[in-house]
Structure formats: C-alpha cells, structure tokens
A and B are shown apart, each in its own frame.
Chain A
Amino acid sequence: MRRFSWFNATSLTLGFAFLYLPMILLVVYSFNESRLVTVWAGFSTKWYGELLQNEEFLDAAWVTLKVAFFSSTIATVLGTMAAYVMIRAGRFPGRTLFSGMIYAPLVMPEVITGLSLLLLFIGIGLDRGVLTVVLAHTTFSMCYVSVVVSSRLSTFDQALEEAALDLGASPFESFTLITLPIIAPAVISGWLLAFTLSLDDLVIASFTTGPGATTLPIKVFSAVRLGVSPEINALSTLLIGIVTVGVITASLVSKRAAVQRRREEQAAQRTA
C-alpha cells in the first residue's frame, strides 16, 4: 500500500487505457451512422442489421463454430490423454520425442504449421475442406490443452487414484470417477482455450481450408485488407461482448466459490 504511488497509478491508468482504448473505439464506431469510420454521424445500429443479413458472414460464422466445436472437443480428449501420458505413464520408448512434439507446436510459427499440414493433405490426396481444418486445429490446440491439463495433473495428489484402486475401482473407474471430476476445471479451461484458438485462427485455416470451408477469420481478413468496414466493427463488438461477459462471469463464479469454500473451511475448524 505504501508503495502505491502516483507513479504506479499513472502507469496503470495509461497501461490499461492502451490495452482497452482501441477496443472501446471499435465498439463506439460500430454504432456510427456513417460508413466513413472516422467521421461520427450519429448513433445507429444499422451495421448490425446488415451484418446479420450478410449470408457470407453467417455461413462463415457457422463453419467456424462447427470447426471450433469439433476441433476443441477432439483436442481436449487427445490433449488430456497426452497430459496423462506425460505426467503418469512413466518411461516409455520415444518419450523424449513425444514431449518434444507436445511442446513444439506452441512455439512453431503458424505459417510453418499451416504450410506443413497443407503439404501433408496434398501428399495423401485429402480434399481440403472442413475436415482438414478440423484436423489442423486439433493438432495445434491439443498441445495447449495438454499443457493446461498437465500443469493441473502435476499437482494432483496421486494418493487419490491409489485410494480409488485400493477400494476396488478399476484403473478406468478411478480415472472417470475420481481424477476426471477433480481436474475437470482444467479440462474445461483447456477446451475453452482450444475453442478460442480455433475461432481465432487465420493463418493455419487459410493454408488448410478449401472450397466451402471459409472460416470467419479468413472472411474478416479479406474484408479488412481493404480497410476499415463498419460491419466488421459490429462483428468485433459482438465478439468482444461475448468474451467480456464470459470472462467476467467465470471470474465472479470462481471468486464466489473460493470465498464460500474458505468460509466453510473456517467453520469446520471452529466446530472441531
């Protein structure tokens, strides 16, 4: 408290202004009457109307949601398995290669991932479309999932699994009845992360997509290359709104749960 000086207050204010002003401006100009983004011509919601009537955008949004849903779900399953293998399976031949392949996509430039996957799909003669994008997204987002889940698993008390086995549960039951419910928050976070990454991805999707599988970022990219467009502002506002509501709700819920839990723990100690 002592050190929360004017300097700190100023740097925080300026810092958060820098982080948020561009997005706030996007939101504000999405309600601008004029097509010229830079001139304020009165409040209007007409761009939202146009956006919702733009078939191309709606189609792209639908493709994107489909891709994100399938790829994040498969990635969560594979990523959780990979995390479990990394933390629990001990030594096995090729473990170093495995961990290398888990972590490499995290630092791999998207252009390379995209290029290499495209060359693979061409090489094996797989027609490019929704399927190839899903495969590509699953591959890189499973690595993010496995990082999130494995950091949770590494602090997981292994005695809980042993206790389940000891009480007669099969290894599978001990995973589904004990481990999975306990690490569920991490798995869900992993899924959300994978979903967001997939929604967001432009580069890899551009490489691996084909006719009929234009995702929203590809659509947005080709639109904004030509400059600012009020429909994109409206679209951005919708996306920012969804994310903001989601993140705030999640943090409130988790904060509430933590407070509740602390209160219960204190109560338990008092009555003991």
Chain B
Amino acid sequence: MRRAVLIAVPYLWLLALFLVPFIIVLKISLSDIALARPPYAPQLDLNEGWAGIRAFFTGLDLENFTFLTTDDLYWKAYLSSVRIAAVATLCTLLVGYPIAYGMARAPQEWRPTLLMLVILPFWTSFLIRVYSWIGILSTEGVLNQFLMGIGLIGEPLTILNTNTAVYIGIVYTYLPFMILPIYSALEKMDESLLEAAEDLGSSRLAAFWLVTIPLSRNGIVAGCFLVFIPSIGEFVIPSLLGGSDTLMIGKVLWEEFFSNRDWPVASAVAVVLLLILIIPIVLFQRSEEKAREAGR
C-alpha cells in the first residue's frame, strides 16, 4: 500500500506534467492554425459525443509536417543546427582534451582544486556566462581593443552576431561537460602503461596516440554527446551571440511561437526536433551500456 503511494506520486506527476503535455504537442502539430482562442483547430468537443470525437480525428492531418519540408527555412534550420552543434562539439573536444589531460597529469594534491575550478562555472548562471562574451566580442569589445592595442589588426573584427560567436559561446558554456568525463577516464588510467609503451620502443607521441587516446575513448564519446545533444536545441546562445543569419532550430521554434503565434507549426517543429534528437540519444545510451559492460 505504502509502496503504491510511493510509486504513484512521482509517477502521476510526470505523467501529468511531462507525458500529457507532450501528447498535446503531438496533437496540436496535427491541427491547423485558426484565428481563434486557442489559435488552432480542430478542437475536441466532447459535448457532441461520438460525432465530435470523429470530427476531431478527421480534422487532424500531417499538413504541418509537409509544410516543414516545403519551406526552406525549416530544413535549413535543422541542418544548420546539427552542423553548428557538430562543429562546436569538435572545437570543445579540442579545447577540453588538453585541459582534462593536464588535470589528470597534475600532482595529486592539486587535482581536487582543479576539479573544483572546472565545476564552479557550472554552478554559475548560464545566461551570465553567455552574456559575458558580448562585452568581449563586440566591435568595441575587449578582444578587439586588445588586438588593435598590440597592433595585430588595424580594424575591429566583426565577431559578435556571427556563427563564430555562437561556436565560442557553445565551447565556453559546455566545456565542463567535455572536461569532466575525459578527466575521469584519464585519471583512472595507469601511468605505468605509458612507461610500458615507451619501454617497448614507442615515442611519447606514439604512446599518447596508441595508449592514452584509446583508453580515454569512453570519456571522449560521453563528453561529445553531452555537448552535442543540448547544443542542437540551444536557444540562449544563438539569440544573444548569433546574428540574424544564424539559423538554429531552437530560435526558429521560439519565434514561430511567440512572434508568428503559429502553434501548430511550432509544435510540428518541436516534434521533428525530438525525432532528430532520438538518434544521438540512442547512440549515446548504447555506447554507455557498452562502456559499462566493458568496465566490468
């Protein structure tokens, strides 16, 4: 009895506030836009009984999804989201790996402090961390002043409101997600393995490539998924750092909903975004399972 209550409370909460809302999104994505409140049709009218239900179901169609494929904006936005997320993930890996490596090789007594320094930004407001780059990247920003000050460039660079700024924003905000799994994989590695590799005649670089990288593979894979998955649907970074030509699907959805008030299309955009996300999520889950099995 007690067990049933224990299960039921969180279960019902999630059903009501996670699953049901999602079903509503699915339903509205099959509806049509209407000049009404709420602004879509058909509405389910239970007062009309069975006929109402039938009328409701016949009113549903895949029109919005066909619309998404015909209008360039959407599929370009999906494509560009995936591309930006992928490039940014790669950059994060390139920036994060040396940091994680340096941490794992740092003297034992420094490591907790270094780890805390990586985690600290995670507790700091995401919005503020993105915002901090506006002042740096803008035309009169700190970066341009610095570069012009040392005479490297004569004219300020335009970085803010471009895709470059979006990459920087993603790398910066998601860096801890990349460092932490790689660090924990590297930290577990036995240093004598490298000594063994060198003892057997490989150079330091070869030992790194043949021993360290494969042994930290699980960390790299986990880190990449942890950065890639949330960046696809990112909204704050493209809207603050990106320009008008930065196409990311999170921003498109937001605008579709708030500016155009086209709920059915916004819902359809959300459904397709989820379908796209399922692929990396399933891959991630599978690689985690494999890693766990191998770990045993």
Contacts and interface: CB of A to CB of B under 8 A. Distances in A.
Does A touch B (CB under 8 Å) in the complex? yes
Nearest to B263: A119
Interface of B: 2-3, 6-7, 9-11, 13-15, 17-22, 24-25, 28, 38, 95-96, 98-99, 101-103, 105-107, 112, 114, 116-121, 123-129, 131-136, 138, 140-142, 145, 172, 175, 191, 194, 229-230, 232-236, 239-240, 250, 253-254, 257, 263, 266-267, 270, 273-274, 277, 281
A179 interface: no
Interface of A: 1-5, 7-9, 11-12, 15-16, 18-20, 22-23, 25-26, 29, 36-38, 78-79, 81-82, 84-85, 89, 92, 94, 97-98, 101-102, 104-105, 107-112, 115-117, 119-120, 122-123, 135-136, 138-139, 142, 146, 171-172, 196, 199-200, 202-203, 207, 217, 220-221, 224-225, 227-228, 232-233, 236, 239-240, 243-244, 246-248, 251, 255
Nearest to A84: B6
Given A26-B132, A116-B270, A38 B10 contact: no
- Judged by DSSP, the binding face of A is helix
Given A11-B98, A115-B266, A139 B13 contact: yes
Contacts of A136: 17
B105 A3 contact: yes
A251 B99 CA distance: 21
Given A217-B127, A236-B132, A246-B123, A89 B14 contact: no
Contact of A247 (B120, B172, B175): B120
9 contacts: A22-B132, A22-B133, A36-B140, A37-B135, A109-B230, A111-B253, A202-B236, A225-B240, A227-B138
B95 A109 contact: no
Contacts of A239: 124-125, 128
A91 to B, nearest CB: 11
